[in-house]
Structure 1
Amino acid sequence: MDHKLLLLFSIFTFVLFYNPTNSNAVQLNTLNIDSILATNELVMVNFYADWCRFSNLLAPIWDEAATLIAKSFPIPGKVVLAKVDCDAEGGIATRYHITKYPTLKIFRNGQVTKKEYRGQRSAEAMLAFVKKQMEDPVKEFKTGDKIEPAARAVIGVFASRLTPEYDTYRKAATSLKDDCSFYFKVEALDHNLEAKGVLTEAALSDVPPPSIEFVSNNEHIPYSGDFTMSAMTQFLQPLCIPLVREITFENAEELSEEGLPFLILFHRPSDSKSKQEFSNLVNRELREEKQNVNFLTADGEKFSHPLHHLGKSDKDLPLLAIDSFRHMYLFPKYEDSLVPGKVLQFLKDLYSGKLHREFHYGPDATQQAAIDGSNSQPVIITAPPESTFKKLAPSRNRYTLLRDEL
């Protein structure tokens, strides 16, 4: 009976981790994907299609990268490079909304991240990327250290880095390290004991339980949940990821792929006043719109091209605009953004199509009559300028179902 069970277990394991190529890149399917994602800290997945030319160009590079990474991270549970044949595994492709080939997604502790891999397509570059991702993001917080007031930081107090609670904290930090700074304090335990890898229940019995605190702008928010990945991430994510983000040429592609219109404050590099006013406005009046729009600030000198399309220059800063990825719409007067409800109505006019309609045909007849006291018909005016940020969207050098099937 034991031999039969062993045989069945061997067959199951073979099917689960079967890789039909000689590559170290694991072939994912419906049987093994959840297990592999859940049991590894970092998984990079190449979603490809055999008939796609770009997928075929990447395939040998991906396999070479998998071999290099497997040698650099031989300990199980750390890093895996994997791949999904989207024709054979259509359900997986649908699950992760794959419409372009190849798409290189990154999974952290079982959860897909917003960022895709968009670095150089070479095995060496991918290895360097993985090494950077696997660096410990948690720094020790020592007596006398201070947190910058404007920073978003998380401080964890632990008996030792060898505790399971600290390991969970470290994993949560790897997922949010781009948005928050993470620190730890070792509480009342001899570091020499930890350095020797000796950690006993007796040693832990005299120290306080672990604690976590979010710190920003002199605000301290203690964590009271369980020390599990899901609970900790649920607490930290909305605190670490700000409502208002700065758009740069480096992150524009990532932000555009989120698919939400941009409400952008264009400002001078030295202008912190308008940035604070915009942040206060978003937090005060527009928080409920975060599912519908991305709130961004942009250096108006670096992003002079969008200003030119709006008929403006750096002399007109600061100013507010919406980029819908079809057109750009200028908020008429920046000073009016300080009037309660004005910017919210600007967004509502975008959702309803009113901004687009009025740019083409002028104000509604009733509005025009109220303005000039007449019953004149709307006058056709200049169309809004086309979106400039859509040009910073993901590269067209990938086969996409949304474009190439048309």
Structure 2
Amino acid sequence: MHAAQKFALGLLAAAAVATASDVAQLKKDTFDDFVKANDLVLAEFYAPWCGHCKALAPEYEEAATTLKEKNIMVAKIDCTEETDLCQQHGVEGYPTLKVFRGLENVAPYKGQRKAAGITSYMIKQSLPAVSEVTKDTLEEFKKADKVVLVAYLDAADKASSEVLTKVADKLRDNYPFGSSTDAALAEAEGVKAPALVLYKDFDEGKSVFSEKFDVEAIEKFAKTAATPLIGEIGPETYSDYMSAGIPLAYIFAETEEERKEISEKLKPVAEAQRGVVNFGTIDAKAFGAHAGNLNLKADKFPAFAIQEVVKNQKFPFDQDKEMTLEAIKAFVDDFVAGKVDPSIKSEPIPETQGPVTVVVAKNYNDIVLDDTKDVLVEFYAPWCGHCKSLAPKYEELGELYAKSEFKDKVIIAKVDATANDVPDEIQGFPTIKLFPAGAKDKAVTFSGARTVEDLIKFIAEEGKYKASVAVEEVVEEASEAASEAASETKSEAAEETHDEL
């Protein structure tokens, strides 16, 4: 073989190595089988144009190579090609990473986006959900995280052990779980089997669950006991408070000293409502603009408000009144008793409407929840660049449906979510949702490319009336900017809010 031929073959071999990937590229017809065939899978739902996805790619590849040796599979799905699969798994932004233990046990990936962080997180996921704890390892286990749970059980109590395993499997992303059958160790910890102790490095240090072991009861106990009595509300904790499912009371103050002082004063109120209302302080200097989202004046602190997170209702405490223990206690008690009406921020109802119906808080229910119509709603912010780019396309969409046979069955609508209270907690702009006729409680979030054609396809697929209209094809330049206008992650949208949570 000539030297030139050897050199060429060498280049081909090097190229093959360079392009080899340990990340499995999955499609709709291969996804289910791949997940079923592997005990643990990390899957990335991405879009080729997404900047965050591009930054993640080399880290993801490196982690996949390391994890492959430990039989942990890593995969990716192109959501611009596999739109149905991505919608099926609730993908709303890119990249979205999820951990699969079969098709039924799915959890969001909560680790870092660097190779070492991905590897470390997934190796932890591969370990047993419940670790055996002894008198020699208990103190070390308590320090494993800010919150850990240890069950003290009788060796013969199989029922409680099975319940513990189910809970640990479900909550393993949140807390480390341990177990001990040492009766002497249980006695030393002040409990008697069966019992579950939640150890924490804040508040009272530990909480004890001594009722009959039940999955839902333990979940509720863990969620309540693991939440600080009066925590700190910020970018790292905000989503946890929103997903807790119970109202959140905000204590706005500009200095750390003032926040500590008010927290100490209001501890009796927070203690009395533990598990009913979560309490947290918020830095008014850094996040004071969020007060406006709660219908408070954003320039008058300290301030107090409660948000009903499920219905996204706001209950601001009168800022002209002093925040005394007695006044806040009465306000919170009345709120819990249902005696306080929510504050509703709304623009005036428009006197006339165009092809895109303008929704405000005062007409939201009448329009969006009209059970006879499929209603597509764009939740936007006036300052949002992506919303401005979408505007002419959205107007065109409205005109197409207004002139079609579906004009009385489909409404194209928009609402300024910064100027109107809406039932949904909107975390990124624009957010587009379809509220189908006859199924208003099953709104579907749009996650495709923001083109007129894709929006029509979405309405036709997800709406009751399967309403599709014709649109003239327009040749557009394929540019990075145009691609990025198609969609974005919630985090990318949040960057435009500056001091929003």
TM-score (norm 1): 0.54
**Residue 182 (structure 1) aligned to one of 146, 170, 177:** 177
CA contact (8 A) 2:209 2:221 kept: no
Q: 1:1-400 residue pairs with structure 2 within 5 A?
A: 22-30=20-28, 33-34=31-32, 36-37=34-35, 42-50=40-48, 52=50, 54-71=52-69, 74=70, 76=71, 79-107=72-100, 110-113=104-107, 115-117=108-110, 119-120=112-113, 122-134=114-126, 138=131, 140-142=133-135, 153-157=149-153, 159=155, 169=164, 172-173=167-168, 175-177=170-172, 179-180=174-175, 182-187=177-182, 213-215=195-197, 219-224=208-213, 232=215, 234-242=216-224, 246-249=231-234, 251-252=236-237, 254-255=239-240, 258=243, 263-266=248-251, 268-269=259-260, 271-272=263-264, 274-281=266-273, 283=275, 295-300=278-283, 305=288, 310=296, 316=302, 319-322=304-307, 330-332=316-318, 334=323, 335-339=326-330, 342-344=334-336, 349-350=341-342, 354-357=343-346
Distance change (3 Å), C-alpha of 1:47 and 1:179: closer
1:97 alignment partner, SS class: coil
1:183 alignment partner, SS class: strand
1:356 alignment partner, SS class: coil
The 1-side partners of 2:177 and 2:131 are apart by 5
The 1-side partners of 2:38 and 2:162 are apart by 14
The 1-side partners of 2:92 and 2:486 are apart by 11
The residue type paired with residue 344 of structure 2 is L
Identity of aligned residues (%): 19
CA contact (8 A) 2:315 2:341 kept: no
The range that moved more, 319-328 or 126-135, is: 319-328
Per-residue CA deviations over 1:191-234 (Å, capped at 9, x if unaligned) read xxxxxxxxxxxxxxxxxxxx753346765334456xxxxxx5x4
Using CA pairs below 8 Å that are at least 6 residues apart, which structure has the higher relative contact order? 1
The 1-side partners of 2:196 and 2:93 are apart by 38
The residue type paired with residue 180 of structure 2 is K
Per-residue CA deviations over 1:124-169 (Å, capped at 9, x if unaligned) read 3322333455566636153997999x97734043659xx9997995
The residue type paired with residue 195 of structure 2 is E
CA contact (8 A) 1:47 1:102 kept: yes
2:281 alignment partner, SS class: strand
> Structure 1: which 5+ residue stretches go unaligned?
1-20, 189-210, 226-231, 287-294, 361-383
Distance change (3 Å), C-alpha of 1:123 and 1:152: closer
The 2-side partners of 1:242 and 1:220 are apart by 11
Provide the aligned C-alpha RMSD in A.
5.5
1:281 offset after TM fit, Å? 2.6
The residue type paired with residue 79 of structure 2 is C
Distance change (3 Å), C-alpha of 1:142 and 1:358: farther
The residue type paired with residue 305 of structure 1 is G
The residue type paired with residue 157 of structure 1 is L
Per-residue CA deviations over 1:176-199 (Å, capped at 9, x if unaligned) read 2465553311459xxxxxxxxxxx
Distance change (3 Å), C-alpha of 1:181 and 1:277: farther
Distance change (3 Å), C-alpha of 1:328 and 1:186: closer
Aligned length: 308
The 1-side partners of 2:449 and 2:244 are apart by 14
CA contact (8 A) 2:83 2:448 kept: no
TM-score (norm 2): 0.45
The residue type paired with residue 92 of structure 2 is T
1:349 offset after TM fit, Å? 3.7
CA contact (8 A) 2:233 2:280 kept: no
Distance change (3 Å), C-alpha of 1:224 and 1:302: same
1:241 alignment partner, SS class: helix
